[in-house]
Structure 1
Amino acid sequence: MTDLLQQGIFWLDVLAPTEAEMRILSTVFHIHPLTMEDIETEETREKCELFKNYYFVSFRSHDNGNSNTADVEPINMYNVVMREGILTFHFQPTPHQHNVRRRIQYLKDFITLTPDWINYAIMDDITDYFAPLIQKVEFESDAIDQLVMVLKKSEQHDMLVRIGLCRKLVMALLKMLGSKVDVIKGLIKRFEDKLFVNESPGDVSLYLGDIQDHIITMLQNLNHYENMLSRAHSNYLAQISIEITQLSNTTNDVLNRMTVFATILLPMNVITGLFGMNVHVPGQNVESFAWFSSITGSLLLILMLGVIFAKRIGFF
């Protein structure tokens, strides 16, 4: 890159290096075997390590290509920062290198370009790359918080899925951003103690402090959204519990009414059952409806007394 060459430094970006390429780079730039092992094995732990002629930074990005799911695929990125230049390694294509080169073009007349500044710019672009996901979580959390108490029964299953996916995304982002604060703190401390091989301007520490503040703000927002989602989840479960209780009460009320009706009709069934086909019925030889009317009236009277009694004790 012309601007880098004019500043007397280099930037070598390596995509998916092979074992042979790593051996050559290790020989040429005197990279420690521990650093080579971390890069070749795609070490996932984010860290900052100081060696004799360089310092090594592991800082993870993510694949933001599929923003419709809660799955965030991390991308491991490694920076080897020396006095003369910087080596960057990654195993998947990312937009960060292009974004940093474009930023250098814009700011070349206002900054002192150093390997430390390039390392800061890469880390800053990685941090900013999380902003769309944080904004997505914010919108989804606000929507869930407003809708969880006014759902129709047909929408409750969809809301449970939305809450689960959003909480999954929040936990993934908390996991990826949590360790970045320690890396930034380690860099700032070592710059302040002047432990690095580069004699960088003091404003690099200020730049790193800005990244640290940005990450801490993101973590605080994510914790707030997690609390919102947890409350919405609890409200959702409470609403489901209330509906189940209401349904149970309605079922019990129907069963009680059916029991009362059965209790009222049981004596009449007993009375009518006594007079079967082979039983002498009172008044069967009398050519009059008096006996029939009396029996029917008695049954109706028993029915009315049962209904009145059921109303008195609160079954109706």
Structure 2
Amino acid sequence: MPSGIGGIINTGHDRPYRFSFYSNALSATIHARSISELPAEGQSFEDLFNGDHSKNGNGNSLVGSGGDFEGNTWWLDVQCPTDEEMKMLSKVFSIHPLTTEDIQMEETREKIELFRNYYLVCFRSFDQDPYSPTHLEPLNMYIIVFREGTLSFHYRPTPHPQNVRRRITQLKDYISVTSDWISYALIDDITDAFGPLIQSIEYEVDSIDELVLILKDTEQSDMLRRIGTCRKKVMGLLRLMGNKADVVKGLAKRCNENWRVAPTSDIVRYITQDHLITMTQNLNHYEKILSRSHSNYLAQISIEMTDANNQINDVLSKLTALGTVLIPMNLVTGLWGMNVHVPGQGVDGYAWFVSIIAGLVAFAVIGGYSTYKFMVRRP
């Protein structure tokens, strides 16, 4: 147990609460801006972590008069730890340098590692950008589990620790809150956070799959954008889900091995990877549906473009047929606009003029009828 944590100076009351300390022996969680604010007045860090919370800073009793602290479990949650704080905590709790390095470097690989006096769980959550529904920023949670307590670290505000503490308050009369259970509860809360996103994606995928082939031309303008946005969400969640099932599987496997620091066998009944596997399979299924919808959309666009091209070709063929009839007539009639001798120029009367006009009309009728019959019979 830590016996001499110190050296962290409080720099002011305007700083956010970065430290949260829970203990079975406390009636409420302690929130502090610096680690030096955690113990009450006249209380040492050894008393704080050992469960001796007989008085708070106001002199009021925090625990029952029985004073039985057997089975005490503590949990220290740290947000944005500094290098000095990590160095101090690593020294006090005998944390391996590799673990300290992973936390300080914000290791993104999800994993479980066993050490001499604790095991480390790296698990990723997400921080959703309210201004971009498709942007999910990974949020790394590092959980160090000792037999007597738990340390958790993260570098951005997250609701998971508060959710777990609320869950402990609701269930503490029915379960034994151990360090293993706290680590399980954090993993479970992170996993449950993906549920609403996957549910919303399911609704969107079903809508796209039903509408992609029945929308009218005027209603299809944003379909490609909807498909692309939904696929981006799915790929982002698949990236975050990543190795979660393997981590949970490894955690359950360690429960059945003879490791002194491994999770106890009691936690096995809580740990299940079926939920994670199901969510990952659902996301892969949604990606296949969106890929098919994308292909169907592009195929429908291609069909519509083919129909439009056929209509254009039909109009052009009619214009070509009309030109075939009119151009020869224009060539003959154009002779009257030229300074050349034309048939019947020196003959009195309109016989030549009427004959030429009748010939042109006959040519137009015969040419138009022939063109019409040719286009009707065309396959």
CA distance in 2, matches of 1:56, 1:149: 50
Distance 1:48 1:2, change over 3 A: closer
> Given that residues 81 and 155 in structure 2 are in contact (C-alpha distance below 8 angstroms), is that contact kept between their aligned partners in structure 1?
yes
CA distance in 2, matches of 1:153, 1:88: 54
**The residue matched to 1:48 in structure 2 has which SS?**
strand
CA distance in 2, matches of 1:169, 1:267: 64
2:108 matches 1:44? yes
> Given that residues 110 and 123 in structure 2 are in contact (C-alpha distance below 8 angstroms), is that contact kept between their aligned partners in structure 1?
yes
> Given that residues 138 and 225 in structure 1 are in contact (C-alpha distance below 8 angstroms), is that contact kept between their aligned partners in structure 2?
yes
> Given that residues 23 and 74 in structure 2 are in contact (C-alpha distance below 8 angstroms), is that contact kept between their aligned partners in structure 1?
no
**The residue matched to 1:58 in structure 2 has which SS?**
strand
How do residues 167-246 of structure 1 correspond to structure 2 at under 5 angstroms?
Answer: 167-197=231-261, 200=264, 202-209=265-272, 212-246=273-307
* 2:351 maps to which of 263, 287, 290: 290
Which deviations, in whole Å up to 9, do the C-alpha atoms of 1:252-281 show, x marking residues without a partner?
111111111111122212222344432223
Distance 1:227 1:67, change over 3 A: farther
2:321 matches 1:300? no
**The residue matched to 2:150 in structure 1 has which SS?**
strand
CA distance in 2, matches of 1:198, 1:243: 62
Q: CA deviation at 1:155?
A: 3.2
2:193 matches 1:132? no
Point out which structure has higher relative CO (alpha carbons under 8 A, 6+ apart). 1
Alignment partner, residue 101 of structure 1: 165
Alignment partner, residue 122 of structure 1: 186
Cα RMSD of the aligned pairs, angstroms, is 1.8
Alignment partner, residue 17 of structure 1: 81
CA distance in 1, matches of 2:103, 2:228: 34
The aligned amino acid for 2:91 is T
Which deviations, in whole Å up to 9, do the C-alpha atoms of 1:271-303 show, x marking residues without a partner?
223444322232334443332221111111111
Alignment partner, residue 261 of structure 1: 322
Distance 1:199 1:161, change over 3 A: closer
Deviates more, 1:162-171 or 1:1-10: 1-10
Q: CA deviation at 1:164?
A: 0.3
Q: Which structure 2 residue ranges, 5 or more long, are not aligned?
A: 1-21, 26-50, 52-68
Which deviations, in whole Å up to 9, do the C-alpha atoms of 1:163-204 show, x marking residues without a partner?
00100111111121131011001111111113241572x231
* Percent identical residues: 56
Q: CA deviation at 1:242?
A: 0.3
Alignment partner, residue 311 of structure 1: 372
> Given that residues 114 and 262 in structure 2 are in contact (C-alpha distance below 8 angstroms), is that contact kept between their aligned partners in structure 1?
no
CA distance in 1, matches of 2:288, 2:193: 24
The aligned amino acid for 2:320 is T
| Higher share in helix | 1
Question: Any runs of at least 4 consecutive aligned residues in structure 1 with deviations exceeding 4 A, and if so which?
Answer: none
> Given that residues 190 and 196 in structure 1 are in contact (C-alpha distance below 8 angstroms), is that contact kept between their aligned partners in structure 2?
no
CA distance in 2, matches of 1:129, 1:86: 21
> Given that residues 80 and 87 in structure 1 are in contact (C-alpha distance below 8 angstroms), is that contact kept between their aligned partners in structure 2?
yes
Alignment partner, residue 272 of structure 1: 333
Q: Compute the TM-score of the two structures, normalised by the length of structure 2.
A: 0.79
Which deviations, in whole Å up to 9, do the C-alpha atoms of 1:36-79 show, x marking residues without a partner?
11100101000000111100000000114528611111101100
Q: CA deviation at 1:307?
A: 0.9
